[in-house]
Amino acid sequence: MIKNPWGQNSDPRLKHNQNLNASSATIKIITLYVILGFMWILLSDRVVNLFDFDHDTFVLIQSIKGTFYTIVTAIGFYFIIHRQIEMYILTIHDLKNAYVELDQGHRKSLTLEEKLYDLAFYDHLTGLPNKAMLEEKVNERINLHPNELMGFIYFDIDEFRNINEVKGHSVGDELIKTIALSLKNKIQHPNMLARMGGDEFVLAIFDIKRLELFMPEVESYIEVVRKSYLLEKDDFFVTFSGGIALYPDHGTNYITLLRHADAAMSIAKSKGKDQFVIFDDEMVTVIKQQTEILNNLRQAIINHEMSLHYQPIIDLKNDHTIGVEALIRWQHPVKGFIPPLEFISLSEKNGFIKEITEFVFKDAADHYSLWEKQKKPFKVSINLSASMLMNDKFINNLLIWIQKEKLDCRKFNIEITETAIISDIQKSIHVLNQLKRLGFTIALDDFGTGYSSLTYLQKLPIDSIKIDRSFIGNIKENTEEFFVLKYMIDLAHHLNLKVVAEGIETEEQALMVKKYGVDFAQGYYYCRPTTQVRIIEYIHESNMKSEV
């Protein structure tokens, strides 16, 4: 049966040949030839016998009759044989077409199979093995070489989100491709580099010969890509943070190694980034504690476990309290007091900082009426995190909240840290200008701890700087710290900025900052952070002392 392999018969002339058989076709032709021959002989002889021909004429007629029969049968056989050969040629042609189509289909299936394999085991952006391939190779290595050491390095690009936000995802993708190519050219077989997704990679070191050479080898790989990159005419210095797990000490299978390397990377991030940390068992405890805190944090505001404490800000000209800094406190019903350092950074990483910021604004606004009883200009300072400052929805959400709560923004001061603005100066300036137009005053907190405060100080739309406590702690006249402090005070005043000194703990420090022109101060020397009621009592007591 000659059929197109993809559907109907290729030619309608073949429809009657679906049961074609060589023997039966031959027998039919011979039978037809025999029947026609006998019929011709009998009929032609009978016709000739009707006439009385002499012998010579009879012989001639017989010759003509034989010749005629030969010519007619030859013509008949020509058409029969031609038809059969034509069918044969057509069959061969269709078979060839079918073979070509089958071959093309086979090639397409192989190509599709290759594409499916690539999709399943390779990253489409970088061409690197993906996590499925990594898992397969790591487990295969463990099965084949169970007694050999293996290094599992899980790392990502620090602050990669900022690059995507500032330059766009296409530029971010190009950076990832560049980094992947550089590492790929450096890493030699049997070691492998895999992309896990986003800006995350895993480097699997399969040929650790000496453990003391392992970390230098890892560092040599990272140093290849830890450098400045030109992204659309702007330089970005790219660093990496990662966690390291070793087989078999930190895990005997892929899943465990990945989990422990990821835990180590989280610790590296929390320590300030731009570093690699080797996993240890204590990290599991830390991660569990952080997870528990985060779970409790989600219910803390709903359960009224959060509250605001305040620390007074003192005007050094007359020792009067001219404002307070609002500081969030968490009193857990079981764990007791949980310091802000333990939950603020976690809330930033997990997106819960928005709820905390809204709580601080709302609670500070709800209790502002008590401050107004002081019958003098009074401001409440509120800290704004980097993630909130850079959040595109922050200003819109703030406007909605201001209208809802009927907030007078002129009564509040926003404190931002240098690290919050340095990742994207232009965007920070834009957001700060919007806050200024709403009526907020702006203070640059922890001034002097970064590397570019002086460079951008005159560009930022701020009203004051808060000198970090690290400059205050060991301050003595005619020391290096003293001259740096004096320079910062003079520079700020030259730019018409007020200066606040944080962390004043002794009378000597209070007198020193007052002597050299600091405008305002706060610290334990004056008053520890406490509830609003106690701060109001402190203000009354300090006012009475100043009057005496």
Which residue has tokens 């003192």? 314
Rounded-to-integer distance, Cα 91 and Cα 20, Å: 11
Burial class (CB in 10 A: 0-12, 13-18, 19+), 402: middle
Least confident of 166-180, 214-228, 470-484, 489-503: 470-484
The answer as to CATH 3.20.20.450 being correct for domain 303-547 is: yes
Q: Parallel, antiparallel, or unpaired: how do β-strands 192-197 and 276-278 relate?
A: unpaired
- Per the document, the length of the chain is 548
Is the separation of the CB atoms in 313 and 289 below 8 Å?
no
Same fold, 131-279 and 303-547: no
Per-residue pLDDT band at 547 (split at 50, 70, 90): low
Q: What is the dihedral of CA 101, 106, 107, 113, to 10 degrees?
A: 150
CATH superfamily of 131-279: Reverse transcriptase/Diguanylate cyclase domain (3.30.70.270)
Per-residue pLDDT band at 73 (split at 50, 70, 90): confident
Give 161's Cβ-side CA count (13 Å radius): 5
Q: pLDDT tens digits, residue range 422-442?
A: 767 788 899 999 999 999 999
Residue 81, by phi and psi: left (phi above 0), alpha (psi -120 to 50) or beta? Answer: alpha
Question: What residue spans define the domains of the chain?
Answer: 12-120, 131-279, 303-547
Q: pLDDT tens digits, residue range 315-350?
A: 999 888 999 999 999 999 998 999 888 888 888 877
Is the separation of the CB atoms in 298 and 265 below 8 Å?
no
Q: pLDDT tens digits, residue range 30-41?
A: 787 778 777 877
Is the separation of the CB atoms in 364 and 415 below 8 Å?
no
CB atoms < 10 A from the CB of 410, how many?
12
How far from the centroid of its chain's Cα atoms is residue 128's Cα?
16
**pTM (2 decimals)?**
0.59
Is the separation of the CB atoms in 388 and 394 below 8 Å?
yes
